[in-house]
Amino acid sequence: MDKKACILITGAGGFVGKNLRLALAARGYENILRYDVNNTPAELAAFADKADFVFHLAGVNRPKDASEFYDGNSDLTSRLCQLLAKAGRKTPLLLTSSIQVGNGSDYGKSKQMAEQTVFSYGQTTGAPVYVYRMPGLFGKWCRPNYNSVVATFCYNIANDLPIQVRDPAFCLPLCYIDDVVDCFINAMEGNALPDPDLEGFCRIEPVHRITLGELADTIKRFRESRKTLQLPNLAEGGLEKKLYSTYLSYLEPSSGFKYPLTMHTDPRGSFTEFLRTPERGQVSVNVSRPGITKGNHWHSTKNEKYLVVSGKGLIRFRLPDSDQVFEYHVSGEKLEVVDIPVGYTHSIVNEGDSDLVTVMWVNECFDPDHPDTVALPVDAEK
């Protein structure tokens, strides 16, 4: 698809529409036409006449009257397809439908009618059509306390509001908005994924599954992580990573982005834990006053990395049964990582006239019952 192609998005102000149009713009697409509830039928006709591709996302899911389902879903789709057919350009059309098709509700019926209209448009005009039955969606900018349990749980828990879990065992199929947007843009660019279970339909991947109880517990852990310092499982492509990104987007911007850490202070300076992970250890920040030496101990299994980010320091090493001392001068003016291997007693000395600030990573979280720390001065006793 040419970057200057005219792309029409109906429902452009909604959750999916906003994410899609910003993603398109970020990828260099310059001509995006936005149609939403405030636009007129005449504007829709003008847009349809110019469009090179249409993402038809507009729809109604919570009307005051059931008749609005049909006006906002099936009838709007019919009007759009008629306008596209009249333009005579075989404009490709992508439709978002719902997995609620077939459940007997007016919403499901109206969505199924919209599907049939789009397939008919494709058959009569020869235009490519892409129809997706969407599961539950989640991600940034989704409206809470409306139509998404993930958005509601994230918003309420982030803002210390109650949530309701009616059936903890109920399993939710969920798709992350960035995955949805990628699949839609790929379809526009000629790489739609066919649905193996529904002939003629397309699919979003991946689809994640989680119970309602697990979802609530996971998001509650995100809130508690500010106290426990425990990062969630951030494995690439995993549901927990996507949920955590979503959760953070619901923090209150005026006050909720910042939180305190526990600083352990004494006349020598301070030591503050920053992050903990079950698989990757922990990160801490160490501050030493001028002339102060810290450390003078060794570990059997625990290993560390030191990164001085401010000040001047000297890191010293010695094997317990040796007199030979190895020294590394470090400075915030030249960022260098120093590995702290097991079996070496080590210390860090502030050689400057200002505070020495060191970021410290250790491969395991501190366990007071098994500290794996043996006191031994780097300067061997004579």
Q: Which residues are catalytic?
A: 107
CA distance 256 to 245: 15
The burial class, CB within 10 Å (0-12 / 13-18 / 19+), for 310 is middle
The burial class, CB within 10 Å (0-12 / 13-18 / 19+), for 99 is middle
Cβ-contact 318, 297 below 8 angstroms? no
- The amino acid that residue 180 corresponds to is V
CB neighbour list of residue 64: distance below 8 Å, 6 or more residues apart: none
